[in-house]
A and B are shown apart, each in its own frame.
Chain A
């Protein structure tokens, strides 16, 4: 093995729908997995697997120049970016040959082939056998691509209609023996519906989220959305750490749904470091797929992904990924089940406070006027008015110093009481 990752005792090797992987980190179907050259570099760096960039029918689509748009933070750090690239623009046979060769050279690494063909039985029937013949470990159905392809009746256009998902999944299970992963689009109202459809169609797993409909910015000189193609733009698929919270929520929805709770999930969406990966796995994913972080920093981030995750596991006493998988699911519930008698309030640690007053401005202007400002020009003092504090966390969030504001649990002495049983709820249920 050429990988230098995976040095710790905790074992990152895992299995996803019967496919063994040396670690839970796969590269998602995207430009980094478009051809053998990139994939081999990824395997050399230590990635456990790749989902090869989506194959389709020949002739392959043609891409435009100017493909990515960015949403920057204050200091030019990339919060998220989007793309208007289509599926692979290389001939089908070139991809199939390369997949065959790479899989042969890297038998311990996973190659999943992403697919997207028109929503007709014949098209699927035709492409599946040659894909299977490559020796790939599985297929992923791209029902998520939000730009370009839906205009041709593919990608998200299929993913937004549960009946189509079920139908196509069924064809795939019928015409090939490989495990089938259905990749879901977030550009819908309730992600549980397409997941249920995939389940009904016989999918082995779902992967989510695909990218989110987005316009990252408008060029105020040319009045063109970005990325601009000759002065015009179109909505693209948004990705990167900004989408992580949306992805986490959608993953948990499917994991919590009794109808899909046994459906394995490959978590995707802004996974940038080992901590993000652990969170996805705790909320229901079995492994994760990464793209944007690799596109921003290159393949070598795999070292920290593996190292960080296994060190954390070791410290926590988890020997395998499955030891902490779905551990946050029992704690993920509906609002109505939350304890209304729970109380927390902010506490400002004067020694760590740098007197910037951000908490005061936030609380005073936009929250509950629960911070008192005293002291003088040389020593500003901020304290929490405990009676007024509702424990909203805003001060802690705005505080630039990690330990200056801590939220403290208050023992109210009251028993657990949810809205479901709350005396003021006119529709309350008796416990």
Chain B
């Protein structure tokens, strides 16, 4: 980031920043867990299970916690979702399991499933054996591209099934968005790496770093050298504002900034604008806005072209932003970014409104907001460039430009599977894990049918 205008490091003391970025939802105490777990009704055909993309048997794990069997609860969670620890921390539970909880109906207070799940996974007893074993070596070798949640889940399941797995990761660390994208205060203490270590403990998984698809490794090679390939490369592109001034210094990509923030050892070193504007309405917009505040920005304003109620970010997330002093301006569309020689000085917006048909239209009303930094957080997109351009070696894309898969997460190439954010979905960690799990099942089935009976006996 180029330092211009009122953009500087050390807006707050290091200790203040450390405090600001501490665990947003701290772990429940043993007594809190007792009270929280007791509230679970142990529903039959529990709605929360249906609401969990990975189908964790939530009532059963909560019952195990309540009986003092937290290790058993952790095994229950991890066997359905090996990244159950990070999901417990980063899942928007208010729109998933906790929204489905029957306790909402009369008490308007769901069982705290997310926090209970975190308690369980944190209490996996390290003195007991690793909770998973590997089947006998199948002799099959699967390539996985991307060591994010989808790839890791897929790798773990395939390793359990006795297959050899090599993961090709473009970055120098694994974990994907858990390592590079999630707001720091949601996943503290280097949790993503600890979780990766746990995944790898199964054995049979090798990770090769700085191996980007289309740059260092190629899909045709991977297909040649492996029995199957799983692609979990996420979304590498971000949407542009397409307005004048976007190229000015001080106009930043929120995803890239969060990525830097997550890898920064001393957060006070990060350059922070005095007045920050965030364009967007999703989780990334909230994350960058809140983190800017926590780093010491004086004012942070999220500007969104529609009404607050249309935001992608959940109400819970919006409240989090408000609680941290973030201001919202709705119904305003970016018009242009105004800059002087050293960078951005203000941003100009046009007020919008909905016409009779509910379509967003522009008004004649414009206003401008002075600022030092503009963050773009208007969505990421999948880039198909890494897939190459050889039609015989390239899986088909859907109309949104992501990789097309069938119910088994198989692409149009029979030996190539895909999951996570690079296919169409809700772009959640827990959903990526589900894709990885299901793809692994399909890959295992495909590979098993090609293993001769003699081999299987071995």
Q: How far is the CA of A377 from the CA of B47 in the complex (A)?
A: 7
Contact status B102-A355, CB under 8 Å? yes
**Is B330 an interface residue when CB atoms closer than 8 A count as contact?**
no
**Is A401 an interface residue when CB atoms closer than 8 A count as contact?**
yes
A residues 351-399 in Cβ contact with B at 8 Å: 354-358, 360-361, 373, 377, 380
Which chain B residues lie closer than 8 Å to A76 at the CB level? 34
Which chain A residues lie closer than 8 Å to B47 at the CB level? 355, 377, 380
Contact status A354-B42, CB under 8 Å? no
Residues of B in contact (CB 8 Å), total 16
| Nearest CB of B to A75, in Å | 4
| Nearest CB of A to B14, in Å | 42
A75-B35, A75-B38, A76-B34 known; A358 vs B44 contact (CB < 8 Å):
yes
Residues of A in contact (CB 8 Å), total 15
Contact status A356-B102, CB under 8 Å? yes
Contact status B105-A357, CB under 8 Å? no
B residues 27-63 in Cβ contact with A at 8 Å: 34-35, 38, 41-47, 50
- Pick from B35, B43, B66 the residue with the most CB of A within 10 Å: B43
**Is B106 an interface residue when CB atoms closer than 8 A count as contact?**
yes
Contact status A75-B43, CB under 8 Å? no
A74-B66, A377-B50, A401-B106 known; A357 vs B35 contact (CB < 8 Å):
no
Render A89-130 as a binary contact track against B, CB cut-off 8 A, 1 for contact: 000000000000000000000000000000000000000000
| Nearest CB of A to B157, in Å | 25
| Nearest CB of B to A274, in Å | 26
**Is A400 an interface residue when CB atoms closer than 8 A count as contact?**
yes
| Nearest CB of A to B393, in Å | 39
Which chain A residue has the least Cβ–Cβ distance from B45? Answer: A357
| Nearest CB of B to A106, in Å | 41
A354-B105, A356-B102 known; A74 vs B38 contact (CB < 8 Å):
yes
| Nearest CB of B to A401, in Å | 6
Which chain A residue has the least Cβ–Cβ distance from B67? Answer: A74
| Nearest CB of B to A356, in Å | 4
Which chain B residues lie closer than 8 Å to A356 at the CB level? 41, 43-44, 46, 102
Contact status B38-A400, CB under 8 Å? no
B residues 238-268 in Cβ contact with A at 8 Å: none
| Nearest CB of A to B451, in Å | 36
| Nearest CB of B to A385, in Å | 16
Which chain A residues lie closer than 8 Å to B41 at the CB level? 356, 358, 400
Render B90-111 as a binary contact track against A, CB cut-off 8 A, 1 for contact: 0000000000001101100000
Q: How far is the CA of A401 from the CA of B44 in the complex (A)?
A: 15
**Pick the contact of A75 from B34, B45, B50, B106 — CB < 8 Å?**
B34
Q: How far is the CA of A98 from the CA of B371 in the complex (A)?
A: 82
B residues 55-91 in Cβ contact with A at 8 Å: 66
Which chain B residues lie closer than 8 Å to A358 at the CB level? 41-44
| Nearest CB of A to B259, in Å | 37
Which chain A residue has the least Cβ–Cβ distance from B39? Answer: A75
Which chain B residue has the least Cβ–Cβ distance from A362? Answer: B44
Render A54-78 as a binary contact track against B, CB cut-off 8 A, 1 for contact: 0000000000000000000011100
Contact status B44-A360, CB under 8 Å? yes
Q: How far is the CA of A177 from the CA of B38 in the complex (A)?
A: 54
Q: How far is the CA of A263 from the CA of B35 in the complex (A)?
A: 46
Contact status A373-B45, CB under 8 Å? yes
Q: How far is the CA of A294 from the CA of B103 in the complex (A)?
A: 33
Q: How far is the CA of A360 from the CA of B43 in the complex (A)?
A: 10
Q: How far is the CA of A356 from the CA of B66 in the complex (A)?
A: 18
Q: How far is the CA of A1 from the CA of B52 in the complex (A)?
A: 62
Which chain A residue has the least Cβ–Cβ distance from B107? Answer: A354
Contact status B105-A361, CB under 8 Å? no
Q: How far is the CA of A200 from the CA of B149 in the complex (A)?
A: 80
Contact status A380-B45, CB under 8 Å? yes
- Pick from B41, B44, B46, B106 the residue with the most CB of A within 10 Å: B44
Q: How far is the CA of A250 from the CA of B311 in the complex (A)?
A: 65
Q: How far is the CA of A76 from the CA of B35 in the complex (A)?
A: 9
| Nearest CB of A to B45, in Å | 5
Q: How far is the CA of A356 from the CA of B42 in the complex (A)?
A: 8
Which chain A residues lie closer than 8 Å to B106 at the CB level? 354, 401
**Pick the contact of B102 from A75, A354, A361, A377 — CB < 8 Å?**
A354
Render B163-180 as a binary contact track against A, CB cut-off 8 A, 1 for contact: 000000000000000000
| Nearest CB of B to A90, in Å | 37
Q: How far is the CA of A355 from the CA of B102 in the complex (A)?
A: 7
Q: How far is the CA of A354 from the CA of B111 in the complex (A)?
A: 14
Which chain B residue has the least Cβ–Cβ distance from A399? Answer: B41
Q: How far is the CA of A355 from the CA of B34 in the complex (A)?
A: 24
Which chain B residue has the least Cβ–Cβ distance from A371? Answer: B44
Q: How far is the CA of A355 from the CA of B48 in the complex (A)?
A: 12
Which chain A residues lie closer than 8 Å to B38 at the CB level? 74-75
Q: How far is the CA of A282 from the CA of B231 in the complex (A)?
A: 73
Q: How far is the CA of A377 from the CA of B100 in the complex (A)?
A: 10
Which chain A residues lie closer than 8 Å to B105 at the CB level? 354-355
Q: How far is the CA of A373 from the CA of B44 in the complex (A)?
A: 11
Q: What is the interface of chain A, defined by CB distance below 8 A to chain B? A: 74-76, 354-358, 360-361, 373, 377, 380, 400-401
Instruction: Given contacts A75-B35, A358-B42, list 8 more A-B pairs with CB under 8 A.
Output: A74-B34, A74-B38, A74-B66, A75-B34, A354-B102, A356-B44, A358-B41, A360-B45
| Chain A to chain B: the 7 pairs with minimum beta-carbon distance, closest first | A357-B44, A361-B44, A75-B38, A354-B105, A356-B43, A354-B102, A356-B102
25 pairs, CB–CB < 8 Å, chain A vs chain B = A74-B34, A74-B38, A74-B66, A75-B34, A75-B35, A75-B38, A76-B34, A354-B102, A354-B106, A355-B105, A356-B41, A356-B43, A356-B102, A357-B44, A357-B46, A358-B42, A358-B43, A358-B44, A360-B44, A373-B45, A377-B47, A377-B50, A380-B45, A400-B41, A401-B106
